[in-house]
Homo-oligomer: A and B are copies of this chain.
């Protein structure tokens, strides 16, 4: 019987109410509803209240996707964030700092993990782009980021974090890896060490290479022959690092100090030192801080990064680009901090 009568009564249906439903209930045009929902001027207070009432009654909510389809500038108020892994504490800190800066502006964050997989990097970026994000914050892992050049030249805001991109000129926020590693070396040398060893991550990771470079160069500056310095690389997990450290420490001329380029490697070295009973004899400085480092015995001296600063800076750059900053791309370098806790202050046994 009633063909049209209840067409706009979403309470009965399972469908979300739209502006038309609200407009019908309030007895106004949909454009007026749009004006009220967007706090635009030009609506009488009486009408405003009626619309607000109807919208609450129907539990109406603006569809941002539909809106941004038509709206000038087409912003979706969402950005894509690509991290090594969302379960990595370092990434988590960056994520959090970014989020804080962006939610203040009503921007939501798509987060995804790339697991050192270059293919995944491209696929996830494509997934973000398909969702029309207003910007990207990426930890690059693929050999080149030139695949995003088309988007970048269309002025899609884009900031790379932790590692600098290759094949594209874009903003980046990175840790001062080389300087941090050099500081670790200098710290150990100043404590009398001459037999230092470097234990590092896979060499295809830019930051790992930078850390090695900084460490080795500092040894060179101190006059230590760098060609004989033990360098063990390709360590990507705790166990391989532990083995490498045990091997090194059991050699005939073991190092008196170790620098580990990354958390998991540091953990592996700590295990090796404990296993061999030399935690208080062999010095250790690790790159990157970690929870409970001060509770170890001895406390672990580290070169601390500042993920929250990286996140905050990246968010700032991204927002500036979103707001129309067209200045030349820049790389921002966040300094590290050496935190003394004991393990790095051990002196070489005579």
Enumerate chain A interface residues (CB-CB to B < 8 A). Answer: 14-16, 59, 61-66, 68-69, 76, 78, 85-89, 91-93, 95-96, 99, 103, 106, 108-113, 124, 126-132, 150, 153-155, 267, 270-271, 274, 290-292, 295-297
**10 further contact pairs, Cβ within 8 A, besides A63-B132, A267-B295, A290-B292:** A65-B132, A78-B131, A86-B96, A92-B92, A95-B111, A103-B112, A108-B128, A109-B110, A109-B112, A274-B295
Query: Do the beta carbons of A87 and B76 come within 8 Å of each other?
Result: no
Given contacts A87-B96, A96-B85, contact A64 B130 (CB under 8 A): yes
Given contacts A15-B154, A89-B92, A295-B274, contact A65 B76 (CB under 8 A): yes
Shortest CB-to-CB span from A128 to chain B, Å, is 7
Shortest CB-to-CB span from A92 to chain B, Å, is 4
Q: 8 tightest A-B contacts by CB?
A: A87-B96, A87-B92, A65-B65, A59-B150, A111-B111, A86-B95, A64-B130, A92-B92
Which single member of B16, B85, B99, B292 contacts A113 (CB below 8 Å)?
Answer: B99
Chain B residue at minimal CB-CB distance from A270: B295
Given contacts A87-B95, A89-B89, A108-B110, contact A131 B271 (CB under 8 A): no
**What chain B residues lie within 8 Å of A124 (beta carbons)?**
103
Shortest CB-to-CB span from A25 to chain B, Å, is 15
**What chain B residues lie within 8 Å of A91 (beta carbons)?**
92
Query: Do the beta carbons of B110 and A63 come within 8 Å of each other?
Result: no
Query: Do the beta carbons of A61 and B113 come within 8 Å of each other?
Result: no
Query: Do the beta carbons of A271 and B295 come within 8 Å of each other?
Result: yes
Shortest CB-to-CB span from A210 to chain B, Å, is 25
Query: Do the beta carbons of A88 and B92 come within 8 Å of each other?
Result: yes
**What chain B residues lie within 8 Å of A66 (beta carbons)?**
69
Query: Do the beta carbons of A63 and B16 come within 8 Å of each other?
Result: no
Query: Do the beta carbons of B86 and A131 come within 8 Å of each other?
Result: no
